Amino acid sequence: MNKFLILVCLAALHGAMVYGQSEQKIDIPIGRQGFHDNIDKEQAAAAKFDGKADDLVKVSDDQTINLQVTNALIKQVDDMQLDIERDTTLDHRLKIRYLSGLYSVLHDYNNKRAYHKIDPAEAPAIIAAYKNMMQANIKGESILPIARELSFNSGENLIEIFKENPGYKEARGVMFGKYAFQNLETVMAEIGNYLDYPVTDSVIAAVARKYPNQVLTYATSYTPVATAIKKNPDPVVQLIVKIGNSGQSTRILPFIDELIDGSMSIDSLEKVVDSDYPYFKQMVKTSVVLQQKKSNGQNPLGLKAMMENMQARSLRYIREVNDLHEEPAPVRFRVVKDFTPEELYYLIVNGQEELFTSSYTNHNNAGLYDQMMARMKPARGDSLLMVVSFDRFKKFIAMAAGFNTLDNFLKSMAPENANYLMKKYISSLEKTEDLEDAVDVANSFGSIRDPKLLDFLREEVKKNYLFVSKKGDKRGTVIYELLSSLFDTQVSKGSDSTKATDMAAKFKLPPVNYVDFSGLVSDSGMVYQQVFFYGDKDGQESYASFMTSFSGGDWRVSKGPSWTTITSVKGKPITIFANLPLDEPKDKEAIQKLSDYLDEKDIHPTVFIHRGHSYHVNTTLDNLQSSAKIVVLGSCGGYHNLAVVLQKSPDAHIISSKQVGTRFVNEPIIRTLEEVIRSGKNVDWVKMWAALSARFAGDARNKELFSDYVPPHKNLGAIFIKAYKQIMKEDKIVSR
């Protein structure tokens, strides 16, 4: 539309709709012409979404749905534009208001459709709702009845157009309720804006039953939200308020289920949680009870908080054992001398991210696993798993495979029980909320060496595949099909390069055994890298050691107040940015300043390197960019780290360690990587790892530590996640 509003009436060639074309022209004042043009642009954008500039808005393989959506976004919107212009009861100001609202509706729809935040087939309902709300508003009637019929994603923006409507406030409360009950994990951050709405009490009560730790956090704050929580009549909310009055509230909260059933009291717990070992001991006992409740179909309120608290406490014990790795066993493992087998089990499953190999098992048979097995009465692994209600047993099995103790563990029980256990290990992977168990299984394939066990697991994967495919379970079918392909590739004959090439071809992935040099280079011809250091003693020592690699004539070093810039003098252009390991919390401020600088200069590194303990890795991951092609995690790359990296950087090749990283291994890897990049060659992981293996072969001290590092072409967990995302993405494209 330029000077005239052209109404293109599309009628359907389907059902009751008749498609034809007619044009009606009406004079549009120049003051409103731009509003019509904006609407036209959004209509055109909706039609071009599928890549074809035609008159059909395609949102589905169902042609009926496509015609209905097209009719709504094209014909009905054109009709509304015409109706608004013809309505003599509306003055210029109101006509602009309703035209602007119509544009806002279309823009919101297109934007949400682009980010998969709305079902595009909702277009007819959205357009009809806007028309009905507009008519109700003109008559001075409430928009509330119309808002009740909409989903949150379709209605949240729509009602904001009618803020002066008498039903707006109630409609906003309805929309908040629709949003809140679908987003209980995050809604507490927004609830302060809705404290005077009736639905808020119900929302807080629902959060208390799923995320009680969040209600506790807000209940102990000095905010209006805390006041609302304290006035909430729900009994669980009131119990959380009472817990918040204790000085040990965060330690007591995980026991909320036992407080509810009356088996424990806040007073009795305050005496227990004040001492570390009695507290850990009680957490283990309660965890077993909570797992039993979960197995019986109940939903324990304190389970998530219990797991978080137990992991934090477990890591403190493990770090103490790790730090004493050069001391005699009685000194090194003194902290766990009174632990029961089940307490050692929980230490192990909670310590995956930081457990040294020698802390887990060693030649003195003094490791946590060794002591766990030795203290069993009887010494049967299946009996232990029954005691802990099979809590995270798949994680334990995956760790046993990674640390080469799985065969020992399985032989501690009767063969038929071992077979049953491994069947459970492989089964029900489709039922989990995330891919963690499936990724653990994938990773274990690269560690198991027993041919009979491998054959058994391969058959179990195939049986589960047939089971889920017969049920029509798409997610389960994809999981087991991928595991079967990974399994077959791993046990096939051939070199590592051949296996990696086969995997990439099977899963329709880019190469997994090398990174093309051209993919690392920015538009300016520079390879940018970012290295993260932290301000504890370990981080400062790592930084000092790292900088010795650039003392020769091949590099130029420039040090600023927050970061160091390292630039290659010879070879291909490389610039490395490394933040200074300033004393905490200034180290994180330095990282932020460096990230702000990179954003300001529009610099997007393709290589990211994390140096530091696993508890620092979240800060590194927060600053990861989608441009990353190589990510070196100098600490454990557990499932959640892999998932976050690949969520932010889908093309990343990840080097990670099964245990805490060490600079004695990190730096040879990084130096080798830098030299390959500086030479302008593709980063071939198979060749690079072969050279590093030869280098560490004569290093008695660090050979074992290097063996715990996983290169990208053998990182089956990362490959599994990439392949799963690729298949589900393709399936989503096909289904649209």
List the Cα angle 671/674/679 in 5-degree steps.
Answer: 130
pLDDT single digits (tens) 290-337: 999 988 888 899 998 999 999 999 999 999 998 898 899 999 999 999
Q: 117 φ, ψ to 5°?
A: -105, 10
Average of per-residue pLDDT across 584-608: 93
Mean pLDDT of 84-109: 94
- Residue 168 pLDDT: 94
The whole-number average pLDDT for the span 534-551 is 90
The alpha-helical segments, DSSP class H, found in 548-624 are 586-600, 617-622
Q: Quickly state the pLDDT bin for 636 (edges 50, 70, 90).
A: low
Average the pLDDT over 490-498 and give the result: 75
pLDDT digits (tens, 9 = 90+) for 389-436: 999 999 999 889 888 899 999 999 999 999 999 999 999 999 888 888
**For the chain, what is the mean pLDDT?**
88
As a residue count, the chain comes to 736
Integer angstrom CA distances of residue 211 from 97, 280, 525:
42, 22, 49
Tell me whether strands 574-579 and 607-610 are parallel, antiparallel or unpaired: unpaired
- The predicted model gives 705-710 an average pLDDT of 83
Phi/psi at 316 (5° precision) = -65, -40
How much of the chain exceeds pLDDT 90, in percent? 63
**Quick one: average pLDDT of 5-24?**
36
Looking at residue 7, its pLDDT comes to 35
Task: Identify the pLDDT of residue 635.
Answer: 66
Whole-number pLDDT of residue 12 = 34
For the segment 140-162, the average pLDDT, to the nearest whole number, is: 93
* Confidence class for position 82, pLDDT limits 50, 70, 90: very high
DSSP letters along 491-504, please?
HSSS-HHHHHHHHH
pLDDT digits (tens, 9 = 90+) for 428-461: 999 888 888 998 888 888 778 788 888 898 899 9
Taking the CB of residue 141, how many other CB atoms lie within 10 A of it? 16
Question: What is the per-residue pLDDT for 15?
Answer: 32
Buried-state track 124-136, b at ≥16 Cβ within 10 A, e below 16: bbbbebbbebbeb
Tokens 């602009």, residue located: 96
Query: Taking a C-beta distance cutoff of 8 angstroms, is the pair 673, 632 a contact?
Result: yes
pLDDT of residue 313: 93
**What is the pLDDT confidence band of residue 699, given thresholds at 50, 70 and 90?**
confident
Residue 16 scores a pLDDT above 80: no
pLDDT higher at 52 or 486: 486
> Mean pLDDT, to the nearest integer, of 615-638?
85
Q: Which amino acid is at 651?
A: D
Residue range 562-582: average pLDDT?
Answer: 95
Look-up: residue for tokens 């299984």?
441
- Four-residue CA torsion sign, 19, 24, 30, 32: negative
pTM comes to 0.69
Residue 152, Cβ density class (10 Å: 0-12 exposed, 13-18 middle, ≥19 buried): middle
Least confidently predicted of 164-168, 296-300, 612-616:
612-616
Please work out, in degrees rounded to the nearest 5, the angle formed at the alpha carbon of residue 14 by the alpha carbons of 12 and 18. Answer: 40
Q: Does residue 654 carry a pLDDT above 60? A: yes
Mean pLDDT, residues 5-18: 34
Question: In the prediction, which pLDDT does 355 show?
Answer: 83
Query: What pLDDT is attached to residue 593?
Result: 95
Mean local confidence (pLDDT), 3-20: 33
What is residue 672's predicted lDDT score, i.e. its pLDDT? 94
Average pLDDT, stretch 208-216?
94
The predicted pLDDT at position 643 comes to 85
pLDDT of residue 53: 66
Q: Which amino acid is at 436?
A: E
pLDDT at 660 (0 to 100):
61
Confidence of residue 652 (pLDDT cuts 50, 70, 90): very high
Closest listed residue to residue 538, CA positions, set 655, 666, 361, 368: 666
At residue 684, the pLDDT reads 94
Which amino acid would we find at residue 548?
A: T
Strands 527-532 and 574-579: what pairing? parallel
Looking at the chain, the whole-number percentage of residues with pLDDT higher than 70 is: 94
Tokens coding 406:
């799985």
Residue range 19-58, pLDDT digits in tens: 233 345 678 899 999 999 999 999 998 888 777 767 788 8
